[in-house]
Structure 1
Amino acid sequence: MSGPAPAVARARLAVRADLADLPVGSLVLVACSGGPDSLALAAATAFVAPRAGVRAGAVVVDHGLQPGSDAVAAEAARACRELGLAPVVVVRVDVGRSSGPEADAREARHAAFDATAAELGAQAVLLGHTLDDQAEQVLLGLARGSGARSLSGMPARRGLLRRPLLGLPREDTVAVCAASGLVPWDDPTNAVPWDDPTNAVPWDDPTNAVPWDDRASAVPLRSRVRHQVLPVLEQVLGPGVVGALARTADQLREDVDTLELLGAELFAAARVEGAPTIALDVAVVAAAPLAVRRRALRAALVAAGCPSGSVSRTHVLAVDRLLTDWHGQGPVALPGRVVARRRCGRLEVEPDAPIEAPAAPTRGEL
């Protein structure tokens, strides 16, 4: 009797290893969109979970961003139930408009995961990200000039979220679906319309600009990286680029975790006890190594009320100059209506006091 297809065996092995630390009887939820990655994860989890003594269900998020999204969500839920997952919950979310469509959708999706896991008592939510997703994440970070934390990619685990397939290539998830008789949903936003001859642009003609017209602009940036950038890198640099980028992310994550731990320790050591605001001893912070010092400063800004996602390198460098290039300059304005200033050997970070309008003059003062 032959065993499962190699890709199926690899997916099951990855899920089995990821669930090994959960107590018997735990509930895990597969986040399933109906695409090949999440369907492959659902199939592997449906096979592994009962053999590991773990209950497995699914959560399907309908973002409502495309016509017929409810039908796609219903089909994904049906596939999960047929695989034997239970319970299977479909959650419709309202995607905000604050950080861009992809980031807003991710925020709404993760909020739905947290709420559903809490409601059902799930110990983990499994996401179907693959090695290719990790490589795409690194490339996007490089293009944006991001720091080491962003370039370290997605962690295999963070809180409730787990990514069992992060070490497997996307071709494995496609193979799992084919071997399991699953028909994944083909998200139209992942298709870059370069098969249209009118959009064809030779890569070897430097005078031609890629025609990012309205249709192409509707395609998520990640999809452009997936369908254009990575294939070109593989063609020019040779096979193995995806794995190399993922290894870079792993190594950076190890370094970043250590630096952030040291930064947190410096923040705690330099903090002035009893101060009414976030106050750091300038001499202690300034004497620390550069990378550790700037992580401590970032921790101070967030602790004072700056939204974590809004604190950029520019903000941290401006505050750092209060330590290393001090010549009596005024306070630094920061996100979240927070200011940083140097005073009496301290770096103080606190909410900016609102500016009160002058009182209206009385009749006798006119």
Structure 2
Amino acid sequence: LDDQAETVLLGLARGAGATSLQGMAAGADLDGVRLLRPLLDVRRTTTRTACAAEGLDPWDDPHNADPRFARVRVREKVLPVLEAELGPGIAEALARTAAQLREDADAFDEMIDETIEDIVEHAEAGISVSVAALAANPAALRNRIIRHVVASEFHQSLARSQTLEVARLVTDWSGQGPIDLPGCRARRVGGRIEFTAR
């Protein structure tokens, strides 16, 4: 739980968006390997107490004490100040926030999967999305669809500023030219936004 709180706080400080604020998943697939974090809801002190009670000697990664790493500074300096100034329970609140955002993201992902089937078509050297369909969706869903299309088709992540520039092709169209993005280019062609490989 402490690691989760640190992850969320670092994501918040970096302005990394809702995906980063979801923190770590209890289970995830990483390069075909299932990664499980069964103790994600357990505080570090509880884990250490349990190890001591069982006579176990836990291994401490030396990087976890090196202040050159932002995560260590958050753990040793920032979270204690937040607890002292705002009251106890900050780590738990950050972990709850991550869980709530993960639930929201799961719902959005399901909505995106259902929506994309109807609004996306393959285009020459890429993929295209209906402008009218994107415009009909709220900004949060529209932006997620744009990011999803680029990630799934070109295996690239878009920064928020890049996502908003593509969204302007839908919501604030004034004849602007193509937008260079990581791994692809977006442009409006008639009633569609085309994403093509660069």
| TM-score, normalised by the number of residues in structure 2 | 0.91
Equivalent in the alignment of 1:347: 193
| Separation in 2, partners of 1:351, 1:302 | 12
Kept after mapping to 2: 8 A contact 1:281/1:345: yes
SS in 1 for 2:185: strand
1:174 to 48, 59, 67: 48
2:141 to 289, 292, 298: 292
Give unmatched runs, 5+ long, in structure 2: none
Kept after mapping to 2: 8 A contact 1:282/1:347: yes
Equivalent in the alignment of 1:235: 84
| Separation in 1, partners of 2:24, 2:60 | 23
- 1:146 matched to 2:16? The reply is yes
Give unmatched runs, 5+ long, in structure 1: 1-130, 193-215, 353-366
Alignment of 1:176-325 (within 5 A): 176-191=50-65, 216=67, 219-272=68-121, 275-276=123-124, 277-308=126-157, 311-325=158-172
Deviation readout 1:235-254 (Å, 9 max, x if unpaired):
11111111111111111111
Give the counterpart letter for 2:26 in structure 1.
A
State which structure, 1 or 2, has the greater radius of gyration over its C-alpha atoms.
Answer: 1
Q: CA deviation at 1:183?
A: 2.5
Deviation readout 1:23-42 (Å, 9 max, x if unpaired):
xxxxxxxxxxxxxxxxxxxx
* Matched positions, count: 193
Q: CA deviation at 1:153?
A: 1.1
Q: 1:313 to 1:225 in 2, by over 3 A?
A: same
SS in 1 for 2:123: coil
| Separation in 1, partners of 2:102, 2:59 | 32
**Which structure has the highest strand share of the two?**
2
Kept after mapping to 1: 8 A contact 2:123/2:194: no
Q: CA deviation at 1:304?
A: 3.1
Kept after mapping to 1: 8 A contact 2:178/2:186: yes
Q: Tell me the percent identity.
A: 52
Equivalent in the alignment of 1:136: 6
| Separation in 2, partners of 1:307, 1:297 | 11
1:328 to 165, 169, 175: 175
Equivalent in the alignment of 2:25: 155
Q: 1:329 to 1:306 in 2, by over 3 A?
A: farther
Give the counterpart letter for 2:194 in structure 1.
E
Q: Which segment drifts farther, 279-288 or 299-308?
A: 299-308
| Separation in 1, partners of 2:105, 2:153 | 22
| Separation in 2, partners of 1:158, 1:188 | 25
| Separation in 2, partners of 1:191, 1:339 | 43
| TM-score, normalised by the number of residues in structure 1 | 0.50
RMSD of aligned residue pairs (Cα, Å): 1.5
| Separation in 2, partners of 1:190, 1:346 | 49
| Separation in 1, partners of 2:113, 2:160 | 17
- Which is bigger in relative contact order (C-alpha 8 A, separation at least 6)? 2
**Which structure has the highest helix share of the two?**
2
Which stretches of structure 1, 4 residues or longer, exceed 6 Å deviation after superposition?
A: none
